[in-house]
Chain A
Amino acid sequence: EIVMTQTPLSLSVTPGQSASISCKTTQSLLHSDGKSYLYWYLQKPGQSPQLLIYEVSNRFSGVPDRFSGSGSGTDFTLKISRVEAEDVGVYYCMQSRQLYSFGQGTKLDIK
């Protein structure tokens, strides 16, 4: 089982500032096909999760370019530049390299 560990578990950000969330995995997410199966989701209050980033660094359709993903192997980061009020919610990393598993979530709120 691949365990995903996110840090921090919560963060409070001033609008316009940036935020970073780390996701570390117990096994490499790199597949022999060259892809790393790491994704980022945002669950806004009262809503279902929505996909932000796929395969480490690709923004999903309609996702603002303020969101970016990076990393490799077992160490990944989601960065949100110029945080806006609409970005509040819980962010989850997810892997699909071996079955599926999610991180514990990082709650972002606005100062």
Chain B
Amino acid sequence: ELKLVESGGGLVQPGGSLRLSCAVTGFSIDDFAMHWVRQVPGKGLEWVSGINWNGGTIAYADSVKGRFTTSRDNAKYSLYLQMNSLRVEDMGLYYCARGGWPNWQYHYMDVWGKGTTVIVSS
């Protein structure tokens, strides 16, 4: 079974940091790009970041560039999102998603986790 399981969410104060993880099972992680997508409760979807199959190319939404860092460890079948200088507007459900091919560009996300919740509040 293809499965993505996110973890690491929680409550953090504005300006604080969190590190999200995504554990992959059921497919060869090094065949695919991976993405982070977030959703404010009751609102729409926002793409956060994409990383190609070997971590050599990474892209970010303007809203998180310079504050968030995406990485992967294919040997551990894991994807990570380091979130620094968190803002109230970063609050939401963070999904890990598989890209449809090895590069982060020009493709869909076809397998999604259930998400992990980030709350930014003082």
Dominant secondary structure at the A interface: loop
**Selected contact of A99 from candidates B59, B95, B113, CB within 8 Å:** B59
Does B47 lie within 8 Å of A102, measured CB to CB? Answer: yes
Q: Which of A92, A96, A97, A105 has the most CB of B within 10 A?
A: A96
Does B112 lie within 8 Å of A49, measured CB to CB? Answer: yes
B-chain residues with CB within 8 Å of residue A54 when the two chains form the complex: 100, 108
A17 at the interface (CB under 8 A from B): no
Does A96 lie within 8 Å of B107, measured CB to CB? Answer: yes
Does A31 lie within 8 Å of B106, measured CB to CB? Answer: yes
**Selected contact of A51 from candidates B61, B95, B108, CB within 8 Å:** B108
| Min CB–CB distance B98 → chain A (angstroms) | 10
Contact-size category for B: 20 to 34
How many chain A residues touch B (Cβ–Cβ < 8 Å)?
A: 24
A-chain residues with CB within 8 Å of residue B47 when the two chains form the complex: 94, 99-102
B-chain residues with CB within 8 Å of residue A31 when the two chains form the complex: 106
The A-contacting residues of B in range 86-122, CB under 8 angstroms, are: 95, 100, 105-110, 112-115
B73 at the interface (CB under 8 A from A): no
* Chain B residues proximal to chain A, CB less than 8 Å: 35, 37, 44-47, 50, 59, 61-62, 95, 100, 105-110, 112-115
